[in-house]
Chain A
Amino acid sequence: MPLVTIDNKEIEVPAGTSVIEAAQQLGIYIPHFCYHKKLSIAASCRMCLVEVEKAPKPLPACATPVADGMKVKTRSQYAIDAQKGVMEFLLINHPLDCPICDQGGECQLQDIAVGYGGVESRYAEAKRVVSEKDLGPLVATDMTRCIHCSRCVRFGQEIAGQMELGMPGRGEHVEVMPFLESQVNNELSGNIIDLCPVGALTSKPFRYHARGWELSRRLGVSPHDSLGSNLTVQVKDGRVQRVLPADNEAVNEGWLSDRDRFAYQGLYADDRLTVPMIKDNGRWIEVDWATALAQAAGALRVLKETHGGDALGFVASPAATVEELHLLQKLARSLGSSQIESHPLERSAGRGQARWLGMPVAKVNTLDRILLVGSTLRSEQPLLAARVRAAVKASAELSILHAANDTQNCAVANAVIAAPSQWLAALTEIEQALKGASASAEAQAIAASLKSGANKAVVLGAVAQIHPQADALHTKAAAIAAACGATLGFLPVGANSVGAAVVKAQSGDVFAAPRKGYVLLGLEPELDCVDGAAAMQALATAECVVGLTAYKGRAPEYATVLLPIAPWAENEGGLVNMEGRLQTFNAATRCQGEARPAWKVLRVLGNQFGLEGCDFDTVAAVRAEALPDGWLEGLNNAAPAVDLGAAVAGAIEWLAETPIYAVDAVTRRASALQATAMAAAPVATANASLLARLGGKTTLRVRQAGLAVELAVRQDDRLADGVLRIAAGHPHTVSLGARMGVLEVEA
């Protein structure tokens, strides 16, 4: 290994290490802009110039590999002169508008100018001005401030896999921009805000809200997907002002999806529930907690006594914390109810089983072969998709089974695009092909891919888990995984789906037969259940519905008692992510109004019933009971014993995915995310031949069971024939009923 001397300190580093990295290991900071440890080397800013003995000119530390015996000086007069010169050049065209720049106080250019620049500028001529670019509702631009480090461009090319920004022009005319007037739509686009070392790209929702030094910081865990990205939640005046990534290589690698980053806006939606309310003779009135809790407990007790415990159904969001779910199931069971639902967007009969990724998240990057079954990965788990991309870039082969051949962020080696009713057959063919039997060409290709390679995984996504044959797909996927020596994995739907199963917050089928009473925790049943219409019907006929919720939403229509609970930033607790990692967090801000963390509400509710063992003082105490030693052993991807029954096929199958910004109540209320193209009102898309069969109309009236829904139609030939893709989880499509069903189109 080469031995280098940097500022008189010696270090031995592997060949190929750059000078800047070697210096970092020695704790020596070399100023830089374009260098970023997760991106390729551009060596375009020249800020990192250092003196290298025997080199005829200063060398960029980021692009200079170490050599044995190399002597580097980062603070010699020679190096300092070079750095000062570069700084002066960088500032020639920079507007120096720090007082009105959002980056002020947390700007690399500012810091480095102070640390390594001169005091005065010798430049008195006119500066260049660059016209503003509209990149959409998330990223604000002030392109005159750009120093052309190309980090934002490289991020799109290398990490996100979608090059939306480029640097057209030449010399002084170079500008960072998208093609023509297009906006930046990638689901990871917010990361370019963090990457931009100056104030050229800043957060639009955060713009002019606060200075970095006014914000207090708390660590958090993102509740919008089952990766559980680590967050730095920044608070001022009791409000979350901004969310940034917290570094955790094993989870989010310092990145955030736009959903993780911007969903916080939903915390301040107009329909936040901040005071307990009860329905009194058809009118909603605000009451104090004691009254509301007594009313809730009284009504539930009457129902239990007259109809038995199973007359009560308990439904929770899979993003509820371990502690909340533990207390909820404890409450349910002690009231004699076995009707507890915490996986409302899954169809498996055995969804109480703690199904997980089957491997550490970080291992995804090292996979050689991946078969992805029924996953719209980029919207389900945006950052896991970036890891899959990294694996593919490093030579993995990705095969997919889906009803839509969507643009992925990486190369897809093999794809079977088929209507959902054909998926089981498609998996069976792959299994056959693995056994050497004859099968279709695609199945053969996937089998061949899966037979080679060392690290392999077969992974079932959210669409596979809400599929009418979810259990059969699981069984087949398990057989394929066994046949090729792959790991079987699941992409859990909710932030705490795994934890919910571990604490046994899942049994029964709550909405299948309407219950007399319901307790709802943190979800909007019409949008967050397999069949929102049926859920709403069941709730409408119930005598008592206790809603623990942060938002009113449609709850006043069906609830009888509304208890305001804390959404994630005001809450505390733990979430178990897809790899079985328990991540805990404290409240980042105080609760709004009278809202309280749900674990406290459930504890008090338990006390109302005189339940034993509900006297927890801290959330940690609840957690200790919920997750006894050895709980990780409960994770289990074994296939259930099921009969692989026939599919329910029809002429038009509904591909019903939850759009990326409709996954939970908070995200659905995040205004900037809702203004993006990906949150546009639902339309129906189908391929040309289905559209022709439907008479080539521009709008369709579609129904399954309930009321018809009118939708604009678009052609999308990436869809399998016979598939109508309509976003679920949206108010407009609730009455279509059970997701992934068979649709009728009115003539």
Chain B
Amino acid sequence: MLTNESLAQIDREIAKYPAEQKQSAVMSALRIAQQEKGWLAPETLEFLATYLGMPTIAVYEVASFYNMYDLKPVGAHKLTVCTNISCQLQGVDAVVAKIQAKLGIGFGETTADGRFTLKEGECFGACGDGPLCLHNNHTLHTRLTPDNVDAFLEGMK
């Protein structure tokens, strides 16, 4: 299911907890699996459940709680825009409207060419620099406006 490198990484995470607390490694295991597979398919969740000795539904609970985990395939560029209150107050709605118009997709959708996915995010904890957009779970873009969105998207071509 997963490559030996991924399994070795997961094993390293498991080793951080007492043997009977293996399931504490579930978040890391999900991250590692998603890194390899691009997204978390049901089979991947089932595999991890068996690997960690926990019920599949419990793995699914974790995977569906955090929005950095993708339970559907995503495009090459996953954009997660915060729509919580602070970003809202700083005008994120206009930014979102611009992105949506430009890419022709709504939240939770992927462009036909498979390049962009747009997701709705929860507070990233950097409200002072809002509106915020997280690129592929790792790079945070700050202070977006309807005007700088174009340049921001161009940079991802």
Residues of A participating in the B interface, judged by any CB pair closer than 8 Å: 162-170, 177-180
A170 touches B65 (CB 8 A): yes
B65 touches A166 (CB 8 A): no
Contact with A along B45-63 (1 / 0, CB 8 A): 1000000000111101101
A168 touches B55 (CB 8 A): no
A164 touches B64 (CB 8 A): no
B104 within 8 A of A: no
Contact (A179, B64) CB under 8 Å given A163-B55, A166-B55: no
Instruction: Return A531 CB to nearest CB of chain B, in Å.
Output: 41
A168 touches B64 (CB 8 A): yes
State the CA gap A177–B61 with chains docked (Å): 10
B65 touches A168 (CB 8 A): yes
A selection of 25 A-B contacts at a CB cut-off of 8 Å is A162-B55, A163-B58, A164-B55, A164-B57, A165-B57, A166-B57, A166-B60, A167-B61, A168-B57, A168-B60, A168-B61, A168-B64, A168-B65, A169-B65, A170-B64, A170-B65, A170-B67, A177-B57, A178-B57, A179-B42, A179-B45, A179-B55, A179-B57, A179-B60, A180-B42
Instruction: Return A178 CB to nearest CB of chain B, in Å.
Output: 6
State the CA gap A668–B136 with chains docked (Å): 56
State the CA gap A162–B56 with chains docked (Å): 11
Contacts of A178 in B (CB 8 A): 57
Question: What secondary structure prevails in chain B residues at the interface with A?
Answer: helix
State the CA gap A169–B67 with chains docked (Å): 9
State the CA gap A140–B65 with chains docked (Å): 26
Contacts of A165 in B (CB 8 A): 57
B56 touches A179 (CB 8 A): yes
Contacts of A168 in B (CB 8 A): 57, 60-61, 63-65
Instruction: Return B50 CB to nearest CB of chain A, in Å.
Output: 12
Please name the residue on chain B nearest to A170 by beta carbon. B65
Instruction: Return B127 CB to nearest CB of chain A, in Å.
Output: 18
State the CA gap A716–B112 with chains docked (Å): 44
Contacts of B61 in A (CB 8 A): 166-168
Please name the residue on chain B nearest to A169 by beta carbon. B64
Contacts of A170 in B (CB 8 A): 64-67, 122
Instruction: Return B48 CB to nearest CB of chain A, in Å.
Output: 12
Contacts of B42 in A (CB 8 A): 179-180
Contacts of B60 in A (CB 8 A): 166, 168, 179
Which of B61, B63, B122 is packed against the most chain A CB atoms within 10 Å? B61
Instruction: Return B42 CB to nearest CB of chain A, in Å.
Output: 6
Please name the residue on chain A nearest to B62 by beta carbon. A168
State the CA gap A265–B116 with chains docked (Å): 55
State the CA gap A169–B56 with chains docked (Å): 14
Contact with A along B61-75 (1 / 0, CB 8 A): 101111100000000
Please name the residue on chain A nearest to B65 by beta carbon. A170
State the CA gap A168–B64 with chains docked (Å): 6
Top 6 A-B residue pairs of the complex, sorted by shortest distance between their CB atoms: A166-B57, A163-B55, A168-B64, A179-B57, A179-B56, A166-B61
Please name the residue on chain A nearest to B63 by beta carbon. A168
Complex interface residues of chain B between 21 and 60 (CB less than 8 A to chain A): 42, 45, 55-58, 60
Contacts of A167 in B (CB 8 A): 61
Beyond known contacts A163-B58, A168-B60, A170-B67: 8 more, CB 8 A cutoff? A162-B55, A166-B58, A168-B63, A169-B65, A170-B122, A179-B42, A179-B55, A179-B60
State the CA gap A164–B58 with chains docked (Å): 9
Please name the residue on chain B nearest to A165 by beta carbon. B57
State the CA gap A178–B55 with chains docked (Å): 10
Contacts of A177 in B (CB 8 A): 57
Please name the residue on chain A nearest to B45 by beta carbon. A179
State the CA gap A163–B54 with chains docked (Å): 9
Contacts of A163 in B (CB 8 A): 55, 57-58
